[in-house]
Structure 1
Amino acid sequence: MKILEKISAFFFKHYALLTSIVVLIFYLLTLAPGVIASDSGELATVQYTLGIAHPTGYPLFTILGFIFSHLPIPLRPITKLNLLTALWSVATVYVLTITLKFLLDNILKWKSSQLTHDENFYERFLVGEKTKIISAVFGGLVFGFSKTLWFQSLSVEVYSLHIFLFSLTFHFLVKAFLEDKQETQNNYFRNKWFSAFLFLALGFTNHLSTIFIIPAFLFFYFYGWNFRRDNLKRFILYVLIGILVAGLIYLYIPLRAMTHPFLNWGNPVIFKDFFNHITGRLYHQFLFPSFGEYFSNIGKFLNSLTISFDKSEFNGSDFNIVIIFAFLGMLVSFFYFRKLFNGLILIFLTTMFITALYNIPDIDAYYLPAHFVVAIFSVIGFLYLITIKMKRRTKQIVAVSMLLISIFLEINQNYSRVDLSGHSLMDDYTLILMNSVEENSVLLSARSSFYFPSLYYQIVEGVRKDLVIAEHYLLQQKWYYTQLNKLHPGIIELRDTVAFLVYTNRNIYFSPEMLKLNLTGEVKIPSNYELAPYLFLFKLVPSKTYVKEKNIDFNFDFSKKHLFETGEIKNIVINMLLNRAVYELVYGHIDESKEKLRKLKKYFPDYEIPADLEKILNE
């Protein structure tokens, strides 16, 4: 019995840390072992080499990643950086858990003075320390095991650091709102408002979607301090300090660009290029979709708040049945804790309505602040239910049972959907592709999924550094030409914004996307040359010259259908097997053609081979 009491005492003392450790264990079990997507290849390379990432640059993310990736941990750089991504989310769970405990400790302070209710109702929220801790742990686990946060925590991306800084901003924001104004009125730098503004500024140095908390931030500040002149002066001072802090960190971008790192997107040295880079001008084309697309985006987000037990559908049901607690908590907050409700609903609605204006495929991570709010509402709903009048022992059993069942269902629903522990498609595809070509070959990409992962392998891990891998859509950019020339001098020439490949004794390969550009006339090859299918590429060869393909076996895992790269690579492999089968037929190599068709049937049994090729296979 004493052992159980000691365990219980230990849990209630270190509840936030233990909650985070539980989440970390599941994250480690599902962590990606390598490069998962094109962006993760670029971002990992930028972090490891202290480079310049695509807009908006992510300077804080880059600097912190550089430090962590060079720690003496016996892991590959990409695995270290995947781990760092998980640690940011685990830290978020810790911050959220202690924030929830603080909210519950001060729950009655959120009553609006304009609302009058039966005071007996509020007495139900005056619960014991253990009940508050169990409720806070519930909220931490709810958010930690939500599908979007869990998935974004398993491979290199900027969003886990974003939500960590968001959670710190919110933590100090609610503390500042409730702190004693008399004690802090004349102390500008030793109060929670200063900390809230500081973390808000740091958030902007990582991701501009930090703006989603601004309406709630303004509400809490001016509701708490009103618009008196002294308070406006304090506000302006904090804003100026925040701009200074963010500005100093953003200075990393032009200063580092001047040194010409391996990856130097946009070379944002002059002010115009720097401003366009940090404001994401390149992606403004994806803003302001049609009304139909806008409401479709909102519908996709709301679908993440539904209840579903279909594990094969990735895009729905982030929280499973927990959403019932969240809906109840939202209603309770609206009627009884209106000040808290107003701040939370501002974050929720701002996130939903602004994110829907941005029409990109991988938009899920932008909704994390709204999911953060859902977790808080779920705690209020959870606490409301477990404070229904019943015997104390019964109440404890009900509380623990509700927590365990809800979290179990959430984990059970999301584990297989997010699990990346055995997913190596991008690694396998990129390495096979790189190792299939001759020494010193040139590979030309056109937004191909292998481009940035291949740069990671070349620059960070030193794999096939002899290869020249170039991106067609960037070749006309002077900064990219300079970067490529630094890595591989004399291969590409830029004449009047038109890029020319210098023909040497190197073998030249086109990605399948480049073939399409060749067929439309955007990319031209000499008239006495043609493109021959070669594994997952096309080789530039003299016309009517047969090219023997290197015999490389592969067996890719296409189970993660929700990943964009999965569908892209699958289509490439299918089409290249077909192309090679036809190519072998043209040169009269029937057996070789049949071998490609057999591979097609073996790896893609559901794919319907064209009738004329099926006939040849069966002969």
Structure 2
Amino acid sequence: MVKKKKNGAIISKILVPLALFLLGLVYIHNLTRDIFGGDVGDLVTAAAVFGVAHPSGYPTFTLLGVLLNQLPFNIPPVTKIGLLSVFASLASLLVYFIFMKKMTKNLTFSMLGMLTLSFSFLFWLYSEIPEVFIPNILFVFLVLYFSYRFFESKKEIYLFITVFLCGLSLTNHHTAVLVFPSVLIMVSRHLKFIFTKRIILFSLLSFIAGLLPYIYVPIAASTRPAINWDSATNIPALIKLFLRFDYGTFSSGNFQKASGIYELFVLSKVYFQHVITSISIPSFLIILLGVYQLFKLNRRLFLAFLCAFFLSGPIFITYAAFPLSNAFIYGISERFYILSSTILMLFFPFGMILIKNTLRRVFSKEILVNIVLLAFWLIPLFLFIRNFEKTDLSHISIGNKLAQDALKFLPRDAVLVVDGDTIVTNVWYIHYVLKVRGDIKVVQKGGYANTYFMDEEEKRYKKENNIKDDDPKLTQNVLKNIAEERDIFFTSPVALDGIVWVPQGLAARYTPKNEIPEEIEYIKKQKVLWKEMKPPKKRELAKAERNLITLFIPIYYASGLVKTGDFIIQNYGNTEEAIYFYKQALDIDPDYSQAYVHLAAVQFDQLGQCREAEINLDRALSINPLPQYFLIKYLNYKNCFKDEDKIKKYREFFRKKFNQDVEQKIKQSTEVLK
């Protein structure tokens, strides 16, 4: 017994602190110096400019980011604020160890679970970027831990802490609510104790106290910061921000959801593949044993943990229904796998206990049992070796480069209207935080986060033209007014009367139809521009750049090249030069399906190269089988091959696949080739 206590003291007081210290060094080494992609630019910029991030506002993250950004270290703001994820991950691992030690009374397996979690891919990757997902793990672990403490002790202080943390967790990320039913399962053991006026009152006050960080939002919004989502200076606007009205309160984002049994099956398949790959197959098998072991030991706790997993994992993923149409959407969905994969690790120590008990029945000597158990320590070692390079973001710069390239080639005093998560938020960071191209006015398409410039221009236009009522063409007229003084560029152009959008790098220039540049001059300038830009090529990306968020960045460049090719073919009819730009796009990203489709369209429509077009369309369909691609393939058979047998067979194929006649579908489609 004395020896066991001594070993326990060594693990708790020496090995665990030492492990966390070393993990901290590894995490800080791998911490990003790059703005990465996704929502990172928004969160970092909001913290750096004392602003308000996208709905639900994330005030706790922003407040802590504001403080970290004041650190007197010679490192980029994204790295300073990224320390929040490092500290949150280390705190999460410590809480995990304490929680599992309390539940299992086994320090060795609690530490093994902690190390396995620390090197699992998703947990480690998001520990290296300033995002809300690792702090979310910390809050969830704390909520579950103090719920358990109340469950076992019936001490009211643990109940009040739990309720306070529930409120506080919602100021970081709303998905924390997915573990609240598990909290109810645990605390409901003492229902009679809870349902007294005093306990209910103090619980309500504790929950409200947890929401207090939202006071930051109207204070920050009133200062008119560069990033000011929903301008939440009053209660209705604050509620709008908190409930995410811009996206839909109960929606995961502005996109067409996956639907149908097959698509939902694919979603579930992808989810489990990612989770199992992240934690490793051996870990997942141990977790399954742990599920069985906890079921035998305590049905209520088993139900609480299993409920937390299913609600935050399979059920949420099915409800969110992310359309897995490209790498970026995969990346967005992958972030939401972290919570459930981490909750799964709560079963890990119980699985190890079951394995140990089984080994004791097999081997008569304890030393043989311990020798076999030593092999399981290879799991975190394996994860470390496999994931170190993938999570070493210390040397990447692809996110910064994207934003710099969006700004670098614009003329002085231009207006850049940006659209699309990564390019918008990365440009914000480079422009507002790193102070790149201060002469340029950056406007977000839709204007959710910053409407100051366009508001002033609209006000000026109305005053100059004595307009009082809303004009349906107000925006178009305001842009025309601005264009008299500044060059205007859109990353995602919109159709405007009398205006042609002339591609220039990652954006397109607002140009009256009678001012289209000369063919030779334009093509020459674009070739020089793209040569100077040196776009990142997908095949040359480092391992750390091959995660699902930054893997999408080359597509921004490929898309710019395809738009350039389209402009050349539509305005100059120069098939040779258009094909040059399409092929440049494919050199950057060989998996960019649109480049194959646009190349094929020129081949069969302009050059009569039916077979070459068919090959490129097949490549596009193998990458992304979109319905419009099937239509274009049919047009190739009909207008280029002119082979009645091929036309008949493909028409029948289309009818079986989509339950619709292809000719009727084409008539319904007004923009088949877009």
**TM-score normalised by the shorter chain: which range applies?**
0.7 to 0.9
Out of 545, 551, 561, the position equivalent to 1:577 is: 561
| Alpha carbons 1:326, 1:377 under 8 Å: kept | yes
Tell me how far 1:98 sits from its aligned partner: 1.6
| Alpha carbons 1:262, 1:483 under 8 Å: kept | no
Q: Distance in 1 between matches of 2:453 and 2:488?
A: 20
| Alpha carbons 2:37, 2:426 under 8 Å: kept | yes
Out of 297, 320, 327, the position equivalent to 1:358 is: 320
Structure with bigger helix share is 2
Q: Percent identity at matched positions?
A: 21
Q: Distance in 2 between matches of 1:263 and 1:304?
A: 33
Equivalent positions of 1:64-143 (< 5 A) are 64-105=64-105, 132-143=106-117
Aligned residue in 1 for 2:645: none
* Partner deviation per Cα, 1:414-469 (whole Å, 9 max, x = no partner): 44554434432221121122111111111122336322211111211111111112
Aligned residue in 2 for 1:326: 287
Deviates more, 1:266-275 or 1:543-552: 543-552
Residue 177, structure 1, aligned to residue 151, structure 2: yes
Residue 257, structure 1, aligned to residue 227, structure 2: no
Aligned residue in 1 for 2:232: 268
| Alpha carbons 1:258, 1:269 under 8 Å: kept | yes
Provide the secondary structure at the position in 1 that maps to 2:321.
Answer: coil
Q: Distance in 2 between matches of 1:83 and 1:592?
A: 48
Equivalent positions of 1:194-233 (< 5 A) are 194-223=160-189, 225-228=190-193, 231-233=195-197
| Alpha carbons 1:212, 1:369 under 8 Å: kept | no
| Alpha carbons 2:443, 2:453 under 8 Å: kept | no
Out of 97, 122, 126, the position equivalent to 1:152 is: 126
Tell me how far 1:327 sits from its aligned partner: 0.4
* Partner deviation per Cα, 1:89-133 (whole Å, 9 max, x = no partner): 12111111121112123xxxxxxxxxxxxxxxxxxxxxxxxxx22
Provide the secondary structure at the position in 2 that maps to 1:37.
Answer: coil
Change (3 A) 1:602 1:382: same
- Provide the TM-score with structure 2 as the length reference: 0.73
* Partner deviation per Cα, 1:177-213 (whole Å, 9 max, x = no partner): 222x4xx4xxx5xx32222222222112111212122
Q: Distance in 1 between matches of 2:459 and 2:428?
A: 16
Which structure 2 residue ranges, 5 or more long, are not aligned? 1-5, 323-328, 608-674
Q: Distance in 2 between matches of 1:155 and 1:47?
A: 14
Which structure 1 residue ranges, 5 or more long, are not aligned? 1-5, 106-131, 307-315, 519-523
Change (3 A) 1:270 1:555: closer
Out of 308, 322, 335, the position equivalent to 1:347 is: 308
Change (3 A) 1:240 1:496: farther
Change (3 A) 1:480 1:428: closer
Change (3 A) 1:376 1:579: closer
Deviates more, 1:208-217 or 1:28-37: 28-37
Aligned residue in 2 for 1:118: none
Aligned residue in 2 for 1:129: none
* Partner deviation per Cα, 1:46-83 (whole Å, 9 max, x = no partner): 11122111111111111111111111122110111223
Q: Distance in 1 between matches of 2:122 and 2:462?
A: 41
Provide the secondary structure at the position in 2 that maps to 1:444.
Answer: strand
Out of 472, 490, 515, the position equivalent to 1:510 is: 490
Tell me how far 1:576 sits from its aligned partner: 3.1
Residue 42, structure 1, aligned to residue 16, structure 2: no
Match for 1:267: what amino acid?
A: S
Aligned residue in 2 for 1:193: 159
Q: Distance in 2 between matches of 1:450 and 1:374?
A: 34
Equivalent positions of 1:580-599 (< 5 A) are 580=564
Deviates more, 1:330-339 or 1:284-293: 284-293
Out of 536, 546, 555, the position equivalent to 1:556 is: 536
Q: Distance in 1 between matches of 2:184 and 2:590?
A: 57
Provide the secondary structure at the position in 2 that maps to 1:394.
Answer: helix
- Provide the TM-score with structure 1 as the length reference: 0.79
| Alpha carbons 2:441, 2:453 under 8 Å: kept | no
Which is bigger in relative contact order (C-alpha 8 A, separation at least 6)?
A: 1
Change (3 A) 1:423 1:164: same
Out of 351, 357, 363, the position equivalent to 1:381 is: 351
RMSD: 3.5
| Alpha carbons 1:264, 1:483 under 8 Å: kept | no
Change (3 A) 1:382 1:47: same
Q: Distance in 2 between matches of 1:164 and 1:210?
A: 10
| Alpha carbons 2:489, 2:510 under 8 Å: kept | yes
Change (3 A) 1:484 1:33: farther
Q: Distance in 2 between matches of 1:442 and 1:573?
A: 20
| Alpha carbons 1:260, 1:483 under 8 Å: kept | no
Change (3 A) 1:238 1:409: farther
Aligned residue in 1 for 2:619: none
Tell me how far 1:231 sits from its aligned partner: 4.3
Q: Distance in 1 between matches of 2:207 and 2:147?
A: 18
| Alpha carbons 2:11, 2:108 under 8 Å: kept | no
Change (3 A) 1:580 1:344: closer
